[in-house]
Structure 1
Amino acid sequence: MKLAIQTSSGDYALGLIDGTGQLVNAISRAPDTAAAKNIGTLYSALMQKAGKETSALTGVMVDLGPGGLSSTRAGVSFANALSYGANLTLTGVSALEATMLDAKRKTDRPILAMRPSPGGACFWAYYEAGHSVASGCEAPDQLFSRLATEGKAFALAGPLRRIGTEALRATAAEQIDIPAADLACFAKTTPILPITNGTLTYLEPITNMDGAHHIAAKDLAS
């Protein structure tokens, strides 16, 4: 059984995923509540709800973002500490890929998964048949303008109310609002492996689209 941790969006969520990839227990809280300020409190509540001990876990899966940096760091730090202390396997999850997998259950179109970034920009990844073909971080107006000239039929997915630009409201693309991807999608994501430094393995949040876990940003027409 694996623990799934998601703290990069507006709501914190933890869940247990069994050996078949099914989400069997989950708990979530808005991050502005007192209980959610301590991820350990949520973890204890989840395990109590499931009637499980840490010894029942075989691994930890944590959302690396992109998303809220402080909250993502909190979730990743907890995952690093728990996996180290309990000798559990550790893997990361891309929030954009999880968003795509959630949206894929609702549409057959190619999917543009988006997450807000500081300064009015957005992290994005474009998926065709479930595979990322391009990604980047830029102002959404600029991205939508380029897509409009290419005449692509796709679906936008992500916390669209938080993006909320005029270009988004004007686009003819199918829009699927996903503030936080369902934890059940975690089991279907491409695992992001931890960094090894001597005997220590750990994960770091995704803070830019030029990192090792993403293909380089490129024009969708290329």
Structure 2
Amino acid sequence: MTILAIDTSNNPLGVALIEENQVLGEYITNLKKNHSIRIMPAIQTIMEDCGKSTADLTKIVVAKGPGSYTGVRIGVTIAKTLAWSLNIPLVGISSLEVLAAGPARHFEGYVAPIFDARRGQVYTGLYQYQNGSLTAVVPDLLTMSVDWASKLANLDRPILFVGNDIPLHRAAFEEQMGDNAVFANATEQNPRPSELAWLGKDKPGEDVHTFVPNYIRLAEAEAKWLEKQGKI
């Protein structure tokens, strides 16, 4: 089993190849550059470096959002195209779950992955390893960071926050949670594409034609259009 993982859902761009229980290769950058231009060369490079061709692939795993509307769409479109053309399974994994996966494995407690959603809002959720599996204690949601901090403060236990956008909201968490707000190291802030591949390794494939991203909220342009139509 050779799995290709693709994540372009936020600023970090990541691709990985795993085979059985081994990570063959992993490529990550955290740059504000056009993913649509860079993702295919990244995939080609990692395939060539690992001595693999598309004929070797048995599954595609993609980060399906939330995150950047354009970024999520790029990764999902490429993943669907590859899965359909190669006639292999496609699996979608929450981008927040991918971000939480690595740090959660080594933290005794809850992990809250954070993506900035502008205007004081964050995409987040609450994750924990239970019986060896990563579990969503609170499903992914869009909320004000101050409201999220208040809810987590009521748990009265340490929460590990992870994500490159934490500096934008750190003050809100520290103010309401005090020492119970724990922050991951810089080396843990990028979602790992190898974790993405691992999360999707044993999951069943989804229907390629009906598979859609999880934006959690509408793109701003779409929301404005629907508002004008009186539909929201």
TM-score range relative to shorter protein: 0.7 to 0.9
Specify the alignment match of 1:185 in structure 2.
Answer: 195
TM-score when normalising by structure 2: 0.77
Unaligned runs of 5+ in 2: 218-232
Specify the alignment match of 2:225 in structure 1.
Answer: none
Instruction: Report the CA distance between 1:31 and its aligned residue.
Output: 5.0
Unaligned runs of 5+ in 1: 210-222
Instruction: Report the CA distance between 1:103 and its aligned residue.
Output: 1.1
Q: Is 2:4–2:197's contact at 8 Å kept on the other side of the alignment? A: no
Query: Deviations for 1:11-64, whole angstroms, at most 9, x for unmatched residues?
Result: 2111111122x3211223455457862422222112121121110111100011
Specify the alignment match of 2:230 in structure 1.
Answer: none
Specify the alignment match of 1:157 in structure 2.
Answer: 162
Partners of 2:54 and 2:210 lie apart in 1 by: 19
What secondary structure is seen at the aligned counterpart in 1 of 2:162?
strand
What secondary structure is seen at the aligned counterpart in 1 of 2:83?
helix
Give the AA of the match of 2:114: M
Specify the alignment match of 1:145 in structure 2.
Answer: 150
What secondary structure is seen at the aligned counterpart in 1 of 2:79?
helix
Instruction: Report the CA distance between 1:203 and its aligned residue.
Output: 2.6
Residue 131 of structure 1 is aligned with which of 115, 135, 138? Answer: 135
Name the one with the larger helix percent.
Answer: 2
Partners of 1:30 and 1:110 lie apart in 2 by: 25
Give the AA of the match of 1:174: V
Give the share of equivalent positions with the same residue, in percent. 21
Partners of 1:34 and 1:64 lie apart in 2 by: 18
Q: Is 2:17–2:197's contact at 8 Å kept on the other side of the alignment? A: no
Stretch deviating more after TM superposition (159-168 or 29-38): 29-38
Give the AA of the match of 1:207: Y
TM-score when normalising by structure 1: 0.80
Structure 2 counterparts to residues 1-222 of structure 1, below 5 A = 1-20=2-21, 22-33=22-33, 37-128=37-128, 129=130, 130-135=134-139, 136-161=141-166, 163-170=168-175, 171=177, 172=179, 173-176=181-184, 178-189=188-199, 191=203, 193-194=205-206, 196=207, 201-208=209-216
Partners of 1:147 and 1:35 lie apart in 2 by: 34
Query: Deviations for 1:106-134, whole angstroms, at most 9, x for unmatched residues?
Result: 31122222222243311111124332122
**Alpha-carbon spacing, 1:109–1:15, altered in 2? closer, same or farther (3 Å):** same
What secondary structure is seen at the aligned counterpart in 2 of 1:97?
helix
Partners of 1:56 and 1:152 lie apart in 2 by: 46
Q: Is 1:29–1:36's contact at 8 Å kept on the other side of the alignment? A: no
Instruction: Report the CA distance between 1:99 and its aligned residue.
Output: 1.9
Instruction: Report the CA distance between 1:141 and its aligned residue.
Output: 0.9
Instruction: Report the CA distance between 1:90 and its aligned residue.
Output: 0.5
Stretch deviating more after TM superposition (93-102 or 109-118): 109-118
Instruction: Report the CA distance between 1:157 and its aligned residue.
Output: 2.0
Q: Is 1:12–1:36's contact at 8 Å kept on the other side of the alignment? A: no
Partners of 1:81 and 1:150 lie apart in 2 by: 43
Instruction: Report the CA distance between 1:152 and its aligned residue.
Output: 2.9
Partners of 2:199 and 2:102 lie apart in 1 by: 11
Query: Deviations for 1:155-184, whole angstroms, at most 9, x for unmatched residues?
Result: 222224453342134342111154322222
Give the AA of the match of 1:133: V
